Amino acid sequence: MNLALFDLDNTLLDGDSDFEWSQFLIRIGVLDRELFEATNLAFYEHYKAGTLDIGEFLDFQLKPLSRHARKTLDEWHGRFMREKALGMITQAARDLVNRHRAANDVCIIITATNSFVTAPIARAFGVENLIATEPEQRDGEFTGRVAGIPCFREGKIIRLESWLGERGWSLDSFDKTTFYSDSLNDLPLLGKVNNPVAVNPDATLRAHAEKSGWPVMSLR
């Protein structure tokens, strides 16, 4: 039995769903461009540089969810999927996921982006298992806070081990454990699997992959 883990943003997707969701809300007038766009860009640059304060970012990213009814948010997200997210899925990414699904591997999308944004994208890939940062909910509505440990950096390892443990598994339960990622932020989890793969890697991850002899591939 094999395990296939997929990062989402800039790995399976040609772009970043977290960033693009905020840009979408700005474009449709839900968020004020002058107030939010520069901050959204700054957080994205910190993420790429490996200097992101995940607490500050989640406060920025999740607060807008608390200001609107879930029904309205779901309608906006449907439009976001049609107008932006589906276009970020490349055929090469679909083919990669489908090869693992056809081999009956346990497939998981594991992402720092919150599950409200990413669950419909995971379904578009046909992947049932999603480990993502969880927005706190009360009576079906978002509070603007995070629930539990963010699925970011070492938090990805904690969340994955918890998910596996709930099913009576560990990483050692699998013959082959593969993780596909583009980001230096995923180096902790990449170091835990026995088949780390750098996908469209940033400069830091590419250098680490080349030094370590990890495969490097592109899905674009």
What distance in Å separates the CA atoms of residue 159 and residue 194, rounded to the nearest whole number?
Answer: 18
Which residue out of 9, 105, 182, 186 is catalytically annotated?
9
Contacting residues for 38 by C-beta, under 8 A, at least 6 apart: none
In the annotation, is 7 catalytic? yes
Please name every residue paired with 199 in a beta bridge, in sequence order, or none if there are none.
217
SS3 state of residue 134: strand
In the annotation, is 202 catalytic? no
Tokens 């835990």, residue located: 192
Instruction: Give the max Cα distance, the chain.
Output: 51
What distance in Å separates the CA atoms of residue 106 and residue 86, rounded to the nearest whole number?
Answer: 23
Which residue out of 7, 18, 186, 202 is catalytically annotated?
7
Helix H or strand E encompassing 107: strand 106-114
| 183-215: b (≥16 Cβ within 10 Å) or e | bbbbbebbebbebbbbbbbbeebbebbeeeebe
What distance in Å separates the CA atoms of residue 172 and residue 33, rounded to the nearest whole number?
Answer: 47
- Report the catalytic residues: 7, 9
